[in-house]
Chain A
Amino acid sequence: MRAALKEIFVKELGLKPDDFLDDLTYNSVPEWDSASHMAMILAVEEKFDLALESDDIVSMTSVAKILTILEGKGIAVD
């Protein structure tokens, strides 16, 4: 899942692959703003075939939290 999430971040946010770290947080880099956050959420939903709730979307404020939330939805972190 981590690799797939990294791919989404690189593709949707235009982030450099080396910048994808667990402690990367929302609004800490110019690439990850509200508009790209939504694009990332839509890509995650499509990739993992999920429908995320508003609470989940709002709490996905760092890579680590995204991984935890997705893990809670039964997607294995590899």
Chain B
Amino acid sequence: MAPISVRLRNSLRRATMAISIAYYRRYWGMDIGEGCRISHKAILDKSNPRGIHIGRYTGVALNAVILSHDFVRNKHVDTWIGERCHIGACAIIGAGVRVGDGCLVAAGSVVLKDVPDNCIVMGNPARVIEQGLKTGKWGVRVDILSSDRIDPNVLVTDEGKI
């Protein structure tokens, strides 16, 4: 079992994360689905907070940037991220991009084009390198893990999606 400092930190993190997501929704008016995990260090665009749409059970890692305004063209756009996605550390999701359901955006990727459902994208500019994957909550891959290594908590059971 993990040291007590780690367990304490994790439980505090979960609790404060719920508060910060409630703050994003209520104060900023962002559309964030249920069960999302958004790192405290992730950066969601506050210039056009109503343009941020994140599906349920999506995880956003530290230093990821999700933009919804285009300064150069002086416009506000809507950026959509599907459900059960994982946005890796330091990834940048460009303004107006639509990331499908069940996608994994690798760390440091720069996503400038729409991403179809159930893909892994990687690189700058981000390119699709694998299709047809199956993800559980927060982008945990349930297709390549053996069944004994899958935490049953990550399976989305309602609506029979997985």
Measured CB to CB, the residues of A under 8 A from B are 26-27, 34-35, 37-38, 41, 54, 57-58
Q: Which residue of A lies closest to B127 (CB)?
A: A54
Taken together as a complex, chains A and B put the C-alpha atoms of A34 and B128 apart, in Å, by 10
Taken together as a complex, chains A and B put the C-alpha atoms of A35 and B129 apart, in Å, by 9
Q: Are A26 and B122 in contact (CB-based, < 8 A)? A: no
Q: Are B122 and A35 in contact (CB-based, < 8 A)? A: yes
Q: Are A57 and B120 in contact (CB-based, < 8 A)? A: no
Q: Are A54 and B130 in contact (CB-based, < 8 A)? A: no
Q: Is B106's beta carbon under 8 Å from chain A?
A: yes
B114-148 interface code vs A (CB 8 A; 1 in, 0 out): 00000010110001111100000000000010000
Q: How far is the CB of B71 from chain A (nearest CB, A)?
A: 28
Q: Are B127 and A34 in contact (CB-based, < 8 A)? A: no
Taken together as a complex, chains A and B put the C-alpha atoms of A37 and B131 apart, in Å, by 13
Q: Which residue of B lies closest to A61 (CB)?
A: B130
